[in-house]
Amino acid sequence: METRDVVIVGAGLLGCFAARALAAYALDVTVLEAREDVCTGVSRANTGVIYAGYDTQPGTLKTRLCVAGSRGMAALCRELDVPFSRCGSLMIACGEKAEAVLRRKYAAGLENGVEGLRLLTAGAVRAMEPNLTDRVTAGLYAPGAGTLDPWALGIAAFENAQANGVEFRFGQAVGAIRRNPGGFLLETDTETYQTRAVLNCAGLAADRVRELVEAPLVRIFPSAADYLVLDDLSRGFVRHVIFHEPEEKGKGLTLVPTVSGNLLVGPTERDMAVAPGATAAAGLAELRALCAQIVPDLDLDLVIRSFGAVRPNPYYVREEGGVWQPEARGIPSFTVLEEGGLVSLIGIKTPGLTCAKPLGDYAAQRLLAHLGGAARRPDFDPRRRGIPNLSAMAETERAALVLSQPDYGRIVCRCRGVSEGEVREAIRRGACTVDGVKRRTGAGMGRCQGGVCMERVLALLAEARGVPASAVCKDGAGSEVLHGTL
Ligand SMILES: Cc1cc2nc3c(=O)[nH]c(=O)nc-3n(C[C@H](O)[C@H](O)[C@H](O)COP(=O)(O)OP(=O)(O)OC[C@H]3O[C@@H](n4cnc5c(N)ncnc54)[C@H](O)[C@@H]3O)c2cc1C
């Protein structure tokens, strides 16, 4: 049987960035992903904020990687051709208790080396963001914060790793791992893989994947979050990422002016009362109530979608009467466990997006140390070009593209101006579901949420895959859209 140097389990943001980091070396690397595509887990349902680095405990790995990730994000996004908005963030207080939190975060930010942080008066905050409540008493401004579409960054890392020789295999859920003299033997339902080392990036299942070979040590106790997405008419309502620090206990409100221009509101923090990934009515009502307090003029009739997310909260566990119980406090830094060639990233939550590249680099270095090093590949190319984005092009550029490739002249998604050419290119690059096309092109993300374009996207997917449209899923197995033919 062929032996790989490294098998990565999971193709979320972290698996894709670790794969890209390893692709720079003369190594045989395979990524095994349980689902049909990359970035279908935690990496697609989050807030999309690039943190400046004042929120985390000074001196931790998390802080070091967050500050590095934030500083390097603009250059990384240029290299990978991913839209990024360094819009800055404003954390706001509406009272003395919250003001004290802002001062503590300011001090932590200075200690962490975050540049440009400023404490602001209420007047200065309102001058920057006139739509905020006049109850604001102070603000903390971080010019280095920003936002991007998290899946876009992960997909770019995937394409770049693949172009540099990493093998990605989908529909490969790792169900068994055994140590052997050559390293590890991994089993999925259909295949067996021999590898010298394993990187476990299985997101919400990372604890269970590690426990296929090791005794429990850290387990994930998930909690849930809810979000609201507003129509493009919300563009410009706020210009910075707004973090509202509540006066009493609770989560507060976050408002994100996305790279597409519309507004994202959330997340809440709640127990997993409903199915993973589902929204809860109480969570959505909480967001609306917070908006009424903090941005009273925001028109919530502009909400076009809501979605749920799951937080992979890590806790050390100890056995009590045959049951693994969590310690009272969660783990504040990133948990990277190394056990004889098995490296596990467990419970990487915020700011895992900000840290995706430095954490991928870090994991790759741990694996290289285990493997005894490897030569750098002189032909490694860190650059990747995104799918041509018709709606962002100048008139002349667009005309030239349509002339040379007429399917770029046929608009499929009217809300976001996405053409058939872009959809076909997304499918060529690996999209195999309606949501896979959506994440790669934006088709279906606008006001009508796919009402107009889904039929054409289904037909194009069916044609490319040579299957009936009724076999095409919206988002993974069991989410077929049609019962019949188009
Ligand atoms: C609510 C929320 C908001 C957040 N907001 C931010 C933010 O604003 N800024 C920021 O910096 N960070 C943020 N984060 C953190 C960031 O989203 C995560 O750290 C990051 O997405 C984690 O990526 P991952 O690759 O570990 O997990 P995932 O994306 O979940 O990937 C894991 C993959 O492993 C696969 N898998 C699982 N089991 C197996 C198996 N047995 N075999 C094969 N494959 C398997 C899964 O299918 C999945 O594709 C947020 C997180 C949450 C939950």
Residue that finishes a domain, picked among 311, 343, 358? 311
Q: What is the pLDDT of residues 435-472, one digit of tens each?
A: 999 999 999 999 999 999 999 999 999 999 999 999 99
Same domain, 301 and 422: no
Same domain, 129 and 229: yes
CA of 462 to the centre of ligand 1 (A): 29
> Which amino acid type is present at position 19?
A
Residue percentage of the chain with pLDDT more than 90: 95
| pLDDT greater than 90 at residue 483 | no
Same domain, 229 and 304: yes
Is residue 291 assigned to a domain? yes
* pLDDT bucket at 486, cuts 50 / 70 / 90: low
Alpha-carbon distance 28 to 160, whole Å? 15
What distance separates the 2 farthest-apart alpha carbons in the chain?
71
| pLDDT greater than 90 at residue 167 | yes
Same domain, 326 and 345: yes
> Which amino acid type is present at position 436?
G
| pLDDT greater than 90 at residue 277 | no
Is residue 484 assigned to a domain? no
Same domain, 168 and 302: no
pLDDT of 173 reads 98
- Contacts of residue 259, Cβ cutoff 8 Å, sequence gap at least 6: 83, 84, 85, 147, 148, 149
What average pLDDT does range 208-232 have in this prediction? 97
Same domain, 227 and 306: yes
Mean pLDDT of the chain: 96
Residue that finishes a domain, picked among 270, 294, 311? 311
Q: What is the dihedral of CA 88, 94, 96, 101, to 10 degrees?
A: -30
Number of domains within the chain: 3
pLDDT of 407 reads 97
Alpha-carbon distance 271 to 223, whole Å? 5
Is residue 336 assigned to a domain? yes
211, 339 Cβ separation under 8 angstroms: no
CATH of the domain at 322: 3.50.50.60
What separation in angstroms does the CA of 404 have from each of 400, 408, 440?
6, 9, 22
For residue 256, give both structure tokens.
């994100």
CATH of the domain at 399: 1.10.10.1100
Q: Which of 429, 434, 412 is nearest to 480 (CA)?
A: 434
Alpha-carbon distance 371 to 403, whole Å? 51
- Nearest-atom number in ligand 1 for the CA of 35 is 47
- Contacts of residue 65, Cβ cutoff 8 Å, sequence gap at least 6: 334, 354, 355, 358, 359, 362
pLDDT of 261 reads 94
pTM to 2 decimals?
0.97
pLDDT of 273 reads 78
Sign of CA dihedral 93, 99, 100, 102: positive
Protein residues whose CB sits closer than 6 Å to any atom of ligand 1: 9-15, 32-35, 39-43, 46-49, 51, 150, 173-174, 201-205, 209, 225, 267, 309, 311, 348-354
Alpha-carbon distance 65 to 322, whole Å? 37
Is residue 64 assigned to a domain? no
Q: Which of 196, 169, 174, 192 is nearest to 183 (CA)?
A: 196
pLDDT of 485 reads 67
Same domain, 229 and 306: yes
Sign of CA dihedral 117, 358, 11, 335: negative
CA of 95 to the centre of ligand 1 (A): 34
- Nearest-atom number in ligand 1 for the CA of 352 is 19
pLDDT of 432 reads 97
What separation in angstroms does the CA of 297 have from each of 14, 265, 293?
38, 14, 10
CA of 382 to the centre of ligand 1 (A): 23
| CA nearest ligand 1 atom 2, residue | 46
Same domain, 439 and 459: yes
Is residue 99 assigned to a domain? yes
Alpha-carbon distance 157 to 179, whole Å? 29
Q: What is the DSSP code string of 25-79? A: BS--EEEE-SSSSSS-SGGGSS--EE--S-SS-TTSHHHHHHHHHHHHHHHHHHH
Q: What is the DSSP code string of 264-328? A: EE----B---SSTT---HHHHHHHHHHHHHH-TT--GGGEEEEEEEEE--EEEEEEETTEEEEPS
| CA nearest ligand 1 atom 3, residue | 46
First-to-last C-alpha distance (Å) of the chain: 44
Is residue 254 assigned to a domain? yes
Q: What is the pLDDT of residues 377-392, one digit of tens each?
A: 999 999 999 999 999 9
Is residue 234 assigned to a domain? yes
- Contacts of residue 245, Cβ cutoff 8 Å, sequence gap at least 6: 91, 92, 93, 98, 101, 102, 252
CA of 42 to the centre of ligand 1 (A): 3
Is residue 76 assigned to a domain? no
Which H or E run contains 456?
helix 454-465
Q: What is the pLDDT of residues 290-323, one digit of tens each?
A: 999 999 999 999 999 999 999 999 999 999 998 9
Sign of CA dihedral 286, 290, 292, 293: positive
Same domain, 281 and 304: yes
Same domain, 264 and 299: yes
Same domain, 301 and 321: no
Q: What is the pLDDT of residues 233-269, one digit of tens each?
A: 999 999 999 999 999 878 899 999 999 999 999 999 9
Q: What is the pLDDT of residues 334-360, one digit of tens each?
A: 999 999 999 999 999 999 999 999 999
pLDDT of 46 reads 96
CA of 182 to the centre of ligand 1 (A): 30
Residue that finishes a domain, picked among 311, 341, 358? 311
Give the domain extent around 190. 3-44+151-219+313-371
Same domain, 290 and 178: no
